[in-house]
Amino acid sequence: MPHISDNAIVLRRLDYSESSLVVVVMGQTCGKIRVIAKGTRRSTRREFKPGIDLLEAGSIVVSVREHRQEALAILVEWKQKCAFIGIREKLDRLIAAQYIADVAARMTEDWDPHPSVYESLHQSLEALASARDVFPPIVRFQRALLKEAGLMPELNHCVGCEKPITGSSEIYLSSFEGGLLCRDCEGVHVEKRLVTVAPEALTTHDVLDAHGPDVASGMFDLFNYHLTHLMKREPAAMYQLQRLAQGIQHQ
Ligand SMILES: [Zn+2]
């Protein structure tokens, strides 16, 4: 079976049998893949060996069958390059990292290459490892993922009447309609989320550092609403992050 080498980040780790585990990794060039690591569990019980752990980056070699999608790739080699240690030091960083790993896994198909998703995943984990506020790195990742998937909601004008969104009137996001709805158009739509962030903050890219923590947590809430709708399920650690966001917004 041919071997493939790549850089990868571990998104999920599942016990598979007495001695093996299955990991889901995001490869830099090969996309998301499922890999079986044989014998890994047994060896880690008796003595410490650097295994393959959740939310770490490294170089991977896997052997694959011809029909890639149909079978698990087999782990040949894993060399850890970055463990993002700081993420494990604080609970809010850890749940933020679990959230972005889960969203990355669910929003991408196996063997579908997304180098930009890998890059922004790496950057966000790096940022989270020393983050005082976890929401800016999460929002950067949400934004990058939605952009790459071509599912970024329209944030400049109302998708109902096409009028630009300005000022301080109440606006909503409809995931199904794919963008913002103004006060005149929102009434007929049931599926929508009130936008708590000022309209000008929605589209400016450097806004997260400049506008303070309530903007980043508000943006998280908005993109999370959209992603939950697209994924048709709630992302991992969503409730913990929502509680954290509410705490920031009520400060
Ligand atoms: Zn409108």
Give residue 50's pLDDT: 52
- Distance (angstroms) between ligand 1 centre and the Cα of 202 equals 17
- Distance (angstroms) between ligand 1 centre and the Cα of 173 equals 11
pTM exceeding 0.95: no
- Distance (angstroms) between ligand 1 centre and the Cα of 233 equals 28
In the predicted model, is pLDDT for residue 45 greater than 90? no
- Distance (angstroms) between ligand 1 centre and the Cα of 221 equals 22
Among the listed residues 26, 109, 24, the one whose alpha carbon sits nearest the alpha carbon of residue 72: 24
Give residue 47's pLDDT: 45
- Distance (angstroms) between ligand 1 centre and the Cα of 156 equals 11
Reported as a single tens digit per residue, the pLDDT across 48-63 is: 445 789 999 999 999 9
Q: At what angle do helices 238-249 and 213-231 cross, to 10 degrees?
A: 150
- Distance (angstroms) between ligand 1 centre and the Cα of 84 equals 44
Cβ atoms of residues 7 and 26 within 8 Å? no
Give residue 48's pLDDT: 43
Confidence of residue 146 (pLDDT cuts 50, 70, 90): very high
Neighbours of 177 (CB within 10 A): 19
Percent of the chain with pLDDT over 70: 90
Reported as a single tens digit per residue, the pLDDT across 79-96 is: 999 999 999 999 999 999
Q: At what angle do helices 135-148 and 213-231 cross, to 10 degrees?
A: 40
Reported as a single tens digit per residue, the pLDDT across 171-223 is: 999 999 999 999 999 999 999 999 988 887 887 766 566 667 788 899 999 99
Reported as a single tens digit per residue, the pLDDT across 13-22 is: 988 888 889 9
- Distance (angstroms) between ligand 1 centre and the Cα of 185 equals 4
Give residue 85's pLDDT: 96
Distance from C-alpha of 216 to C-alpha of 212, rounded to nearest angstrom = 7
Confidence of residue 248 (pLDDT cuts 50, 70, 90): confident
Give residue 40's pLDDT: 66
- Distance (angstroms) between ligand 1 centre and the Cα of 195 equals 14
The label of the residue with tokens 């896997």 reads: 62
Distance from C-alpha of 225 to C-alpha of 179, rounded to nearest angstrom = 12
Domain positions in the chain are 3-83, 101-249
Can 3-83 and 101-249 be said to share one CATH topology?
A: no
The label of the residue with tokens 């109440």 reads: 170
Give residue 41's pLDDT: 57
In the predicted model, is pLDDT for residue 104 greater than 70? yes
CATH-assigned architecture of domain 101-249: Up-down Bundle (1.20)
Q: Where are the alpha helices (DSSP H) in the chain?
A: 40-46, 91-106, 115-128, 135-148, 199-203, 207-210, 213-231, 238-249
- Distance (angstroms) between ligand 1 centre and the Cα of 182 equals 4
Computed from CA positions of residues 234, 236, 239, 245, in that sequence, does the dihedral angle turn out positive or negative?
A: negative
- Determine the average pLDDT of the residues in 110-137: 96
- Distance (angstroms) between ligand 1 centre and the Cα of 186 equals 7
Tally the C-alpha atoms within 13 A of residue 118's C-alpha that lie toward its C-beta.
21
- Distance (angstroms) between ligand 1 centre and the Cα of 12 equals 41
Reported as a single tens digit per residue, the pLDDT across 223-244 is: 999 999 999 999 999 999 999 9
Neighbours of 208 (CB within 10 A): 22
| Residue scoring higher pLDDT (101 or 70) | 101
- Distance (angstroms) between ligand 1 centre and the Cα of 183 equals 7
The domain 3-83 having CATH identifier 3.40.1010.20: the answer here is no
Distance from C-alpha of 60 to C-alpha of 118, rounded to nearest angstrom = 14
Average pLDDT score, the chain: 89
